[in-house]
Amino acid sequence: MNTPSSSVPESAPDPQGRAPSAMSATRPMYWSVRRELWENPSIYIAPLAVAAVMLFGFTISAIAAPHGVSCWFGPDATHPHGEFQIPYDMAAFLIFLTAFFVGIFYCLDALYGERRDRSILFWKSLPVSDLTTVLSKAAIPLVVLPLIAFAIIAITWLSVFLLTTLVLLGKGGNIVALWAGVPLIKLLLALLYALTAMALWYAPIYGWLLLVSGWARRATFLWATLPFFGIGIIEKIAFNTSSHFGALLKYRLRGWFTEAFVHHVHGSPPAPDPLTQLTPGNFLSSPGLWIGLAFAAVFLAAAVRLRRDRGPI
């Protein structure tokens, strides 16, 4: 007697079966970046704290001395053109500096911390490659921090702009002059360009710090900085000069600004259109940019190899 077959097809057609496989390539990177944000809240707390202090100080200044703001756009304006941009420039500079130092200390602890607390044994048991892990950590100072800084600076600028508007309304100032004199959209475009240039220019610094973080057994900051002091001492002993290597370090720290923007003489008023100060062609053709990116790639490749071979401390 024939019995009905109880076998089922090995696989049923799934019209959406290809979507998960298409997303699986980026999902480990996404969750690795999320993990870094969960474990390191200072990535966004530190810039937020600086922005809050700046905004609080400007609010107190606007309330206690509103004539200072009204002098910029009031009926009897006496301040020179461009001085009203001081709060915007100061907020951007301080948040820039905070993001840079947060990136430095994050990179120094990124690979060292997981070896110190032995959590590397758990993370290596997950199906996430060493390449993905190192790239996710490099993405924090190169991508995530600039985006966070951009959002915080934009919100801070908008808050300052609205506070200035309220002060001028109370003092009978020229609101039209304010809206015409503060090109927020152009400032935001210039800000995004500056953050991109800074991240690309500092890539070898972050790559070097990640390499040291994956190699050192203790005192990562000393291991990251002592070689440069040693090179300076060797130059002084061998050539009786210390200016060449010092100039190279200075160029690496400040070169992104001199290459990406028009250089202004100290004390000269800012240009009315911030977009005219951008020099992307000069920046992208700079040998310092591409040499730095090449070193960054070498440092990151070495950091991947170290994480593969090194165990907990």
- Is position 5 within any domain? no
| The pLDDT value given to residue 126 | 85
Q: How confident is the model at residue 265 (pLDDT cuts 50, 70, 90)?
A: low
- Give pLDDT tens digits for 27-63: 888 889 999 999 999 999 999 999 999 888 888 877 7
The residue-averaged pLDDT of 201-226 equals 94
Calculate ∠ Cα 207-211-215, nearest 5°: 170
- Is position 12 within any domain? no
- Is position 21 within any domain? no
- Give pLDDT tens digits for 163-194: 877 777 766 655 555 556 667 788 899 999 99
- 261 forms bridges with which residues in the sheet? 278
The DSSP result for 132-172, as a single string, is HHHHHHHHIIIIIHHHHHHHHHHHHHHHHHHHHHHHHHHHT
- Going by C-beta distance under 8 Å and a sequence separation of 6 or more, which residues neighbour residue 219? none
- Give pLDDT tens digits for 80-117: 445 556 778 888 999 999 999 999 999 999 999 999 98
Cα–Cα nearest to 227, from 239, 214, 241, 212? 212
- Is position 181 within any domain? yes
How many angstroms separate the CA atoms of 276 and 286, rounded? 19
Q: What is the tally of structural domains in the chain? A: 1
- Is position 200 within any domain? yes
Q: Is the pLDDT of residue 24 over 90?
A: no
What is the span of the domain harbouring residue 43? 30-309
Q: Is the pLDDT of residue 69 over 80?
A: no
Average pLDDT, rounded, for the chain: 81
Q: Is the pLDDT of residue 296 over 60?
A: yes
- Is position 299 within any domain? yes
How many angstroms separate the CA atoms of 99 and 104, rounded? 9
Q: Which of 46-55, 69-78, 271-280, 303-312 has the lowest mean pLDDT?
A: 69-78
* Reported pTM: 0.83
- Is position 125 within any domain? yes
Measured N-to-C along each axis, helices 130-139 and 27-39 cross at an angle, to the nearest 10 degrees, of 50
